[in-house]
Amino acid sequence: MYNTKMQEIIRRLLEELGEDPDREGLVDTPARVERALRFLTSGYRTDVDNVINEALFSVDYNEMVIVRDIDFYSLCEHHLLPFFGKCHIAYLPQGKVIGLSKIPRIVDVFSRRLQIQERMTQQIANIIREKINPMGVAVVVEATHLCMSMRGVEKQNCFAVTSSMLGLFRENARTRMEFLELIKLRSALPGFVGSSAAAQACGEEE
């Protein structure tokens, strides 16, 4: 009846949940869910070099470049529930800059996967360092996790903040604080969620 293995699995899941997959409202659900999941995990099949598409430019500029308030949506790998929020990225060029529109697309590459927020934050910072070799990279991610608000601890108003500071952003407190001031982080500093706190909050209640 369904032309992909994934759709048949989704149909069986509906049956296990006590639903009738043949009723009007659900008959097309397996195909819809398959399309949605393939889009939401498209980062696995996206090549970062194709995303950047040679948009690296030599320039005599060494001041901070910031792209802030980048919306992202991802899926928590523990419960397959969404987490979403804002990503703020800065780097200090060292002879090369990257096309500004490429930075949100890099965020999409790593958010459209089964993820934890801590790893996603590090992956974004590491790939920018790898591709343009700047003097420093800073990434801060603020996110609401539905695995914490819809289930488990059921806290609707909390959000998790993670950061990755590389190069001068790690070594120089003044550079780091300039970045944090410029993005005007919603949370009180230095109240970052620790590297394992968000994952623990998500995973500790099954």
For residue 51, give the nearest of 111, 139, 118 by alpha carbon.
111
pLDDT at 187: 46
- Which of 29-33, 184-188, 192-196: highest mean pLDDT? 29-33
pLDDT of residue 82 exceeding 90, the answer is yes
Burial (CB < 10 A; 0-12, 13-18, 19+), residue 161, is buried
The domain limits of the chain are 5-40, 55-203
Fold category of 55-203 in CATH: GTP Cyclohydrolase I, domain 2 (3.30.1130)
Please tell me the distance from the alpha carbon of residue 124 to that of residue 161, in angstroms, as a whole number.
15
pLDDT at 153: 67
Q: Is 79 a catalytic residue?
A: yes
- Of the residues 7, 34, 79, 88, only one is catalytic, namely 79
Band of residue 184 on the pLDDT scale cut at 50, 70, 90: confident
Please tell me the distance from the alpha carbon of residue 92 to that of residue 102, in angstroms, as a whole number.
16
How much is the pTM? 0.86
Count of CB atoms situated within 10 Å of the CB of 122: 17
pLDDT at 112: 98
Q: Is 158 a catalytic residue?
A: no
Measured CA angle at 102 (ends 99, 106), to 5 deg: 145
Q: Is 88 a catalytic residue?
A: no
Average pLDDT value for the chain: 89
